Amino acid sequence: MKILNTKDENFKTEFDKLVHRSDMDMSAVTPVVLNIINEVKSGKDDMLLAQVARFDKWTPKHIDDLKISINDMKKAYESLNDELKNALNLAYDRIKAYHALKVPQTWTQKDELGNVLGAKYTPVDRAGLYIPGGKAAYPSSLLMNAIPALVAGVGEIVVCTPAIGGVVNELLLAAMHLCDIKTAYKLGGASAVAAMAYGTQSIQKVDVITGPGNIYVATAKKLVFGDVNIDMIAGPSEIGVIADDSANARHIAVDLLSQAEHDELASSYLITPSENFANEVQKHIQSELKTLERETIARKSIDDKAAIVVCKNMNECVNLMNELAVEHLEIAVDDAHKYLDDIRHAGAVFLGHFTPEAMGDYLAGPNHTLPTGGSARFYSPLGVENFMKKSSIISMNESGFLGVAKECIALAKAEGLTAHARSVEVRIKA
């Protein structure tokens, strides 16, 4: 894991590489993904079966073979041991409670002229959730995507997840039961995104697609955006940590590895004002790597995509972390809350020595579907609002209408829109 120092002559060049880590080259996969999408749009169910056989190492004979049984979901949940079942239920309850706190509410108010203005919030009819199932299965991703949709009041939720060899992870099935999922398919990649975006004979078109995935899924979401809504274009997972000598070096090393073990392309960054602390963390990373089940993946990530940055002081640490705009940001210092107002760009912020990022992944409550690759500058975490849309409300009485009519006519005529102006004028004359 390389160590950079802001005093180094070539620091800016090296740090800029970290800032621009999100430069995903979609150009190479776009023709492939576009072809998959067009095949699904034209071939419907039959093409989905062919694509699953091509990509997922099993051969479904009928579209019903892609359907995930509700009974299988129930059996998987009931077969969980008590410890795991309690953990899953605790996660469900905490995530639901958090998301229920901030459901957008319809509102109206009168302006000074007596006109009623406001906004009406309604859930989408159908939401499509993409749940990864490649290198590992993530039941937590199902909870994080399904629960805000349930809280929003979405009428129908459709889940798609790749099932290599036709087998779905048992814990993921259990999570589907807990979330009362009625419609789910063994379907992954761009095929799943296309099926949810455009529909087939068996899969009904959805209104919004959420959930993380690989570059093929991200590219497909980007290509279907506009025909459906999406949450964000997500890339590989990442963590940034601001820590000083008050932190435990081993704890921070393991926190950095918690993202590295996700994916060879995952990024892990430590920014610290202490060179001694940086060296200690680096030593612990090397020793902890040897103990991981996914050591090969984590080691590749640490070698290629990770960095420790040594700064002059905490202010410089914060400024550089804002430039990175990471998905997960831990602030592991004694007075962590002191720096919260200075953080402008981060998907989720974890404050203090006992708030590891892993808590946010599973059961703290806030959503773990977060902006990556610096997109925290303009994207927000997944939430209830992603499954709702807003309609403006306008109601004018006669006196309120007359109070702004002349100005409206003036603006319409300035734009050369005669009928716009006249629709106001005829009401004045009336």
**Residues with a known catalytic role:** 327-328
Number of H helices, E strands in the chain: 15, 14
Say how far apart CA 344 and CA 333 lie, in whole Å: 18
Say how far apart CA 272 and CA 309 lie, in whole Å: 6
Q: Name residue 13's beta-bridge partners.
A: none
Q: What would the two tokens of residue 268 be? A: 């892990």
Say how far apart CA 362 and CA 366 lie, in whole Å: 9
- CB of 139 closer than 8 Å to CB of 172: yes
- CB of 224 closer than 8 Å to CB of 194: yes
Say how far apart CA 93 and CA 151 lie, in whole Å: 12
Q: Edge-to-edge strands of the sheet including 116-123?
A: 107-110, 116-123, 388-395
**Spatial CB neighbours of 145, under 8 Å, sequence gap ≥ 6:** 129, 130, 131, 210, 211, 369, 382
Per DSSP bridges, beta strands 156-161 and 126-130 are parallel
What count of Cα atoms within 13 Å lies in the side-chain half-sphere of residue 351? 9
**Spatial CB neighbours of 37, under 8 Å, sequence gap ≥ 6:** 190, 193, 194, 197, 198, 220, 223, 224
DSSP state letters, 272-295: ES-HHHHHHHHHHHHHHHTT-TTH
Say how far apart CA 328 and CA 372 lie, in whole Å: 9
Q: What would the two tokens of residue 392 be? A: 């403006």
- CB of 21 closer than 8 Å to CB of 267: yes
Residue 162 backbone class (left: φ over 0; alpha: ψ -120 to 50; beta: rest) = beta
Q: How far is CA 293 from CA 148, 261, 262, 302, in A?
A: 32, 9, 11, 15
CB atoms within 10 A of CB 201: 10
